[in-house]
Structures are given as structure tokens and as C-alpha cells.
């Protein structure tokens, strides 16, 4: 199998300003912060045709009930995630590249819902590279917070509350052998057990220190190119060290360095096999003069082919 090339394509930007899945406010302004940081112009300068589809409308916390405290704001998250899923599906069916910008990481429910629907329709095998300080593999039974942004990967794998796992009528959306996690440094007990049970390749920051980010991502991409058709990259900005990107809801010290983050994205671009990208958790309220958004835009550009020479 050979994943579809991302280069020489039209990029459709889809904003998903959700903060319902997180424990802190402000991340709903992430899409605006990325646009202010010059996302469109950076991508256009690389030769892409860029279409900004704007932001989806999401009801704010104050206008609705929290619901089950193990699954906070699930009703609205699922409702808006379905709209996102259809937009992502339509983008892929047009043979364009979806760039989904958020918003907290509950956005992955909609992103992976649309991508998996496209893969099922076209008989494609989905692979997911999850770059995050957290595994996002809690369920309603293991979550310490009830925040759904800590559950989307478990749901995509078929674990958790039925309305999450069976979202878009597809479960699982991705198989464990076609998932890899990079940058982990904060994992809850239930997530740790599920990772072990499913034998998912998961590279913590100590392992990145020992092995090097180039060796890790090269190994993952080489394996994926042999067994999947569509590679989706889900990038949570809290994977980066907070000295570089302080504007995230859950900053954890000891994350990816400037060069590690860019080298990771540059390797993905060199592979030419990324078919969709989502970027989560930019929170301008916690940021310093839009530093995190500007850094993130540069990382997105690196993943799409920007180079020093």
C-alpha cells in the first residue's frame, strides 16, 4: 500500500472552535489565533491553493447543561462533531487536503469520524499518528475529569461510551496496529493499561531522548507506508515544551524541543504520505503575544514542505 500524496493539493481549512471537551476556557479562540499568525499566507507561499471554510458554530458552555459529569457536554460535542465529520468527508471526496484547526482535542471525534467514513467508502486503511503529551485514551469509566478531550483516541479504537465509539456508525475507526503515539509524558492509569493491552507503539519523551525523534518517526512512517492508505496526523500543541508554546490548556514541562518538533514535521513532509492533519489545543488566553500560534503555524508549514533551503 502507498498512502496518498499530500503535495500539490488544495488545502481546505476547517475551524472547530470547541472548548467543551476541555477543563479550561479559551481554546475555542485557537482557530482565530492561528489565522492571525498567518496560516493562510504561509501555506499559500508554499504553492498550495488554500480555501478557508471558516469556523463551525458551537454553543458555549453557559448556554447548555453539562450533562453526565463523566461525559461533560457530550450532546453538543457529538452534534457539532457530526457537522465537522461531514465537512471533512466532503473535503476528502473532493480529493482535497483537510486541515482541521481547533479547539480542544475532542475535535478528533469529528475529524476521525469523517476520515474513517471516507476510508470505508473508498476501501482504504486508516493510520493515525497521535502527537500529544497525553494519550487521550480514557473512557467514561476511567476518566479522572469527565473531559471528553481525554477520550477521542480510545473512542476511535472502539473503547468507551457507545455514543462515542459508534459515532458516524463506524467502530472501530482505526485498528491498534495502525496507531502510533509520540511525545507522551502524562498518562492516566486506565490509559496506561489500555495501551499495554492493545500493544500500541507509544513513544514517551524519555524514549525520544534515548532514540531520537528522527529514528522514531522514520520507523513509524516506513511501517505505515507498507500497511495503510491514509495517514492522519493529530497534533496537540501541548506535545511541545511550554517554554516554546505556553498557550495550551494543559502545559506539561519536558516536551518536544524546537528542533525535535520541526524535524518531526519535516520528516512527515518528506514522506509525502500525510493525507489529513488536525491541530488542537492552542489557547491564546494563556499565551504570550500569540507566541504559541505563531510557532504552531510554522510547524504546520514544516509538515507541508517548508524548509530552510
Q: Which listed residue (55, 76, 241, 281) is catalytic?
A: 281
82 is catalytic: no
Catalytic residue among 236, 260, 278, 287: 236
Cβ-based neighbours of 248, under 8 Å, separated by 6 or more: 236, 237, 238, 242, 281, 282, 283, 286, 292
Write down the catalytic residue from 238, 260, 266, 294: 238
Whether 19 is a known active-site residue: answer: no
C-alpha cell at 100: 482541521
Catalytic residue selected from 19, 55, 76, 134: 134
Catalytic residue chosen out of the listed positions 136, 188, 229, 298: 136
Active site residue 236: yes
Which positions ≥6 away from 142 have C-beta within 8 Å? 188, 189, 190, 191, 194
Tell me which of 28, 76, 104, 105 is the catalytic residue: 105
Q: Any catalytic annotation for residue 281?
A: yes
Our answer to whether residue 238 is catalytic in this structure is yes
Active site residue 134: yes
Considering the candidates 118, 140, 149, 230, report the single residue annotated as catalytic.
Answer: 149
132 assigned to active site: yes
Q: Which of 132, 266, 294, 298 is catalytic?
A: 132
Strand order in the sheet with 97-102: 49-55, 10-16, 97-102, 274-280, 230-236, 126-131, 179-184, 202-204
Catalytic, 55? Answer no
Burial call 246-282: b when 16+ CB within 10 Å, e when fewer: bbbbbbbeebbeeebbbbbbbbbbebbbbbbbbbbbb
Residues carrying an active site annotation: 105, 132, 134, 136, 149, 236, 238, 281
Amino acid at each position: 500500500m502507498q498512502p496518498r500524496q499530500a503535495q500539490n493539493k488544495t488545502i481546505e481549512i476547517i475551524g472547530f472552535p470547541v472548548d467543551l471537551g476541555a477543563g479550561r476556557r479559551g481554546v475555542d479562540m485557537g482557530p482565530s489565533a492561528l489565522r492571525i499568525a498567518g496560516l493562510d499566507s504561509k501555506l499559500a507561499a508554499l504553492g498550495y491553493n488554500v480555501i478557508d471554510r471558516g469556523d463551525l458554530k458551537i454553543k458555549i458552555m453557559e448556554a447548555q447543561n453539562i450533562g453526565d459529569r463523566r461525559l461533560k457536554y457530550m450532546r453538543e460535542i457529538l452534534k457539532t462533531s457530526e457537522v465537522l465529520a461531514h465537512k471533512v468527508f466532503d473535503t476528502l471526496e473532493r480529493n482535497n487536503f483537510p486541515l482541521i484547526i481547533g479547539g480542544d482535542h475532542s475535535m478528533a471525534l469529528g475529524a476521525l469520524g469523517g476520515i474513517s467514513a471516507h476510508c470505508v467508502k473508498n476501501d482504504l486503511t486508516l493510520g493515525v499518528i497521535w502527537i500529544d503529551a497525553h494519550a487521550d485514551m480514557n473512557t467514561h469509566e476511567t476518566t479522572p475529569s469527565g473531559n471528553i478531550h481525554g477520550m477521542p483516541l480510545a473512542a476511535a479504537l472502539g473503547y468507551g461510551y457507545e455514543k462515542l465509539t459508534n459515532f458516524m456508525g463506524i467502530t472501530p475507526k482505526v485498528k491498534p496496529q495502525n496507531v502510533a503515539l509520540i511525545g507522551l509524558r502524562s498518562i492516566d492509569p486506565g490509559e496506561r493499561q489500555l495501551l499495554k493491552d492493545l500493544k500500541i507503539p507509544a513513544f514517551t519523551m524519555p524514549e525520544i531522548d534515548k532514540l531520537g525523534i528522527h529514528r522514531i518517526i522514520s520507523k513509524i512512517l516506513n511501517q505505515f507506508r507498507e500497511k495503510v492508505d491514509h495517514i492522519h496526523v493529530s497534533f496537540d500543541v501541548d506535545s511541545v515544551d511550554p517554554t516554546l508554546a505556553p498557550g495550551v490548556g494543559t502545559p506539561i514541562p519536558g516536551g518536544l524541543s524546537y528542533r525535535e518538533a520541526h524535524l518531526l514535521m519535516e520528516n512527515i513532509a518528506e514522506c509525502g504520505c500525510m493525507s489529513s492533519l488536525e491541530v488542537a489545543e492552542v489557547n491564546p488566553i494563556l499565551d504570550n503575544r500569540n507566541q504559541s500560534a505563531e510557532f504552531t503555524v510554522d510547524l504546520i508549514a514544516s509538515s507541508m514542505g517548508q524548509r530552510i533551503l
